[in-house]
Structure 1
Amino acid sequence: MTYVSYEEWNQISDTFPVNESDESKGALSVLEWAYSTYTADKIVYASSFGAEAIVLLDLIARVNPSAHIVFLDTALHFPETYDVIEKIKERFPSLQIEMKKAALTLDEQRGEHGPALWKRDPNMCCHIRKVVPLQEALSDKTAWISGLRREQSPTRAATQFINKDEKFKNLKICPLIHWTWDEVWEHIKKHDLPFNKLHSQGYPSIGCFPCTSPVSEDGDSRAGRWNNSTKTECGLHA
């Protein structure tokens, strides 16, 4: 696995080109830097195909139309999520979208860990179906792109454009940290981008269907994930 030293990370962080005066609030500058710094085989965007992801896919396609995109296909996503992936493929046919599956099928997981693992031990389920597949996808990568925004939740409020990722031993690049939820939707509407229809039904954040619920208007964008649980992250962004 490629590891970025503290010295290299600190140097990049200190000299990172940021231009927050443009409409993209620095996102395009971040992406231009990322794709000019890392060769195509050393950087990947791990996309959820949620609202933030749709914005990022649009911006990435402008900078690198043939960028590598990986989707962690847990086999537990809503049909609406798979629908929007197909629409994105039609809108941006040059993007290289990889559907990354877990090593265990749901039947195999049930046989090894019992039924409804997501209910009894959601951390283990996320580890098997998300964390390990992303570890595999990033095993030969130097950097990966994520759609985290500071506004999303308290656990993401300190996210930087460039983050040293101890879990995956590389750099995590987050171009949308300064975007608000309203700005995400303004961009989607302005550019007539396809989006997951569940967003119009009270789902600001959309993951696997057993662990995602609609939220009230006063809830933060992560409130519908692992409802009635202290769990707030799937383990990718610890």
Structure 2
Amino acid sequence: MQDKVVFVSVSGGKDSTLCLALALEKYRGTGTPVVALFCDTGWEHELTYRYIETLEEFFSIKIHKLVGIPLPELIKKKKIFPSPRRRFCTRSCKTVPTYKFYESIYFSFPFKVAEVWQGIRRDESISRRRTEEYTLQPFQKTRYGESFPFALSYRYPILNLTEKEVFKELEKRGIPINPLYQQGFKRVGCYPCFLSKKDIIQVIQRALEGDRFASKRLGEMQLLDNSVQGRLHIDYSLKELIEKAKKKHELSKRMLTLPFVEV
């Protein structure tokens, strides 16, 4: 039986990418397998899918792609949009497929400990400031009620890094970043995240500017909005978000046409 397997959840974002790099640096050549996995929510940007392939080539590894219920189908099934109190998207699209993957690996390649590396940083939010590493012993239940015949040891190797430091570490290693960052996006998981007003508005703005993929995604949001009760975002309807995006779009156009004045 293998003593330990290291699982790294890769989202296509900067934090999880650095986690993968650090895990490979620590364990490559030691006999401890590092297994990278990407949870496909069915709601990612096409550039993120390409970026995952770029990482496979850069690190010379296979990133296992896990697919649960695609997010649009899940929303239609639930007949409601995700919210801070109803984060069924994370549970169904990421947690459940991930746990199933751990079990499938175990039953074909038994191990004692699953070391789970995640790109969580304390400066991301108030709730994450209290994050600490922990271990669940074999058959000890997770917060969702599952238990496994192996220990789950959660590790957060970049917990105390800032966003700027993460980008610096990636640059130092010559690791490419997701092109969405270069387009001004602060986060790249799910396109857009239904919990983020800013993300939704940014996608709508890009659609107004003629971006092909953003226009497609806006159309998909409109179809979902027409088929599901309740607001697309907890505080705003899609119509209100579109109006906000239009105002931002018009403001940016006016700023571009202002004359240059030498001082």
Q: Same fold (TM over 0.5)?
A: yes
Indicate the percent of aligned positions where both proteins have the same amino acid. Answer: 23
Residue 75 (1) aligns with residue 57 (2): no
Shift of 1:122: 5.5
CA–CA distance in 1 between the matches of 2:126 and 2:71?
32
Residue 61 (1) aligns with residue 27 (2): no
Partner of 1:131: 95
CA–CA distance in 1 between the matches of 2:15 and 2:64?
18
Considering only CA atoms, is the larger Rg found in Structure 1 or Structure 2? 2
Specify whether residues 108 and 208 from structure 1 end up closer, same or farther in structure 2 by C-alpha distance, changes over 3 A only.
closer
CA–CA distance in 1 between the matches of 2:86 and 2:192?
10
Residue 100 (1) aligns with residue 66 (2): yes
CA–CA distance in 2 between the matches of 1:186 and 1:112?
42
Specify whether residues 146 and 107 from structure 1 end up closer, same or farther in structure 2 by C-alpha distance, changes over 3 A only.
closer
Partner amino acid, structure 2, of 1:39: K
Partner amino acid, structure 2, of 1:62: E
- SS of 1:142's equivalent in the other structure is strand
The two structures have a TM-score, normalised by structure 1, of: 0.62
CA–CA distance in 1 between the matches of 2:75 and 2:186?
29
Partner amino acid, structure 1, of 2:178: N
CA–CA distance in 2 between the matches of 1:157 and 1:107?
31
- SS of 1:208's equivalent in the other structure is coil
Any unmatched runs of 5+ in structure 2? 107-112, 137-141, 201-231, 236-263
CA–CA distance in 1 between the matches of 2:199 and 2:77?
31
Specify whether residues 158 and 118 from structure 1 end up closer, same or farther in structure 2 by C-alpha distance, changes over 3 A only.
closer
CA–CA distance in 2 between the matches of 1:190 and 1:107?
38
Shift of 1:180: 1.2
The correspondence of residues 154-193 of structure 1 with structure 2, limited to 5 A, is 154-160=126-132, 162-164=133-135, 166-167=142-143, 170-193=152-175
Shift of 1:38: 4.4
Partner of 1:32: none
Shift of 1:74: 0.9
Shift of 1:190: 2.0
The two structures have a TM-score, normalised by structure 2, of: 0.57
Shift of 1:207: 1.7
Specify whether residues 51 and 113 from structure 1 end up closer, same or farther in structure 2 by C-alpha distance, changes over 3 A only.
same
Partner amino acid, structure 2, of 1:196: N
Specify whether residues 111 and 148 from structure 1 end up closer, same or farther in structure 2 by C-alpha distance, changes over 3 A only.
closer
Any unmatched runs of 5+ in structure 1? 1-36, 216-226, 231-238
The correspondence of residues 207-222 of structure 1 with structure 2, limited to 5 A, is 207-211=189-193, 213-214=198-199
Partner amino acid, structure 2, of 1:138: Y
1:41-97 per-position Cα deviation (integer Å, ceiling 9, x unaligned)? xx311121211122122222222346201111111111121121111111111x231
